[in-house]
Amino acid sequence: MHAQHMAGHLIRRLHQVSSHVFATQTQAAGFKMTAVQFAAMDAIQSNPGADQAQIASLISYDRATIGGVIDRLEKKGLVAREVSASDRRAREVRLTPLGEKTYGPLLAVVQALQTDILSGLSEVEKEQFLSLAAKAMTPCDSNEPS
C-alpha cells in the first residue's frame, strides 16, 4: 500500500470529504446544489452578463463542462442565458430574481460549512493548510483577481 502516503491520493480523499460535506450540509439547509454549481453561481453573481467561457475561466473550469453545469442551474431557475447582441456565438449568463434571492442565504450556508471540511485540524492548522493550498495554486492563478 504505497499509494496511501502520496500527495495525489491524499488530495483525492480531501476532495471526496469536501464534496460530501458540501452536499450533506447544503441539502440539510434545503438547497439542492453541488460545489461546482455554487462556484459558478458565485462567479455569475459577481460578473453578471459574462459569457460561459469567462465563467469557466473564473472558476478554473473547462469550457466543455461549464455548459452542463449552467444547464442544471438554468433548469432550477437560478440563472438565465441570453444570446449576446454583440457576439451571437456567446451566451450572456445572469442570475434570475430567484437566483438573486437564493444566493445570500446559500452563501451563508457554504461559508459556515467550510470549517467542517477540515474538522480534523485545529484553527491554526486550518489556516496553515489553506495558505499552503493557496500558495500551491498561485503559479496558475495569473488571471484571477482577489
Partner DNA sequence: TGGCATTAGTAACTATACTTATTAATTTTG
Partner DNA sequence: CAAAATTAATAAGTATAGTTACTAATGCCA
Which residues contact DNA (rule: CB under 7 A)? 12, 15-16, 19-20, 32, 34-37, 51-53, 61-65, 67-70, 72, 86-91, 146
* Cα–Cα distance measured from residue 14 to residue 107, given in angstroms and rounded to the nearest whole number: 21
Query: Looking at 31-39, 67-75, 80-88, 91-99, which segment touches its own copies (CB under 8 A)?
Result: 31-39
Residue 19, helix vs strand vs coil: helix
Residue 118, helix vs strand vs coil: coil
Q: What is the CA radius of gyration of the chain?
A: 17
Which is nearer to its own copies, 83 or 133 (by Cβ)? 133
75: buried, middle or exposed (CB in 10 Å: 19+, 13-18, 0-12)?
Answer: exposed
Residue 108, helix vs strand vs coil: helix
What contacts 66, CB < 8 A, 6 or more positions away? 40, 52, 53, 55, 56
Which is nearer to DNA, 39 or 121 (by Cβ)? 39
Nearest distance in Å: CB 124, DNA: 28
16 counts as binding its own copies under rule CB under 8 A: yes
Q: Which does 110 bind (CB under 5 to 8 A by kind): its own copies, DNA, none?
A: its own copies
DSSP state of 146: -
Q: Which does 18 bind (CB under 5 to 8 A by kind): DNA, its own copies, none?
A: its own copies
Which residues contact its own copies (rule: CB under 8 A)?
1-19, 21-22, 35-36, 38-39, 42-43, 46, 58-60, 107, 110-111, 113-114, 117-121, 125-126, 128-130, 132-140, 144-146
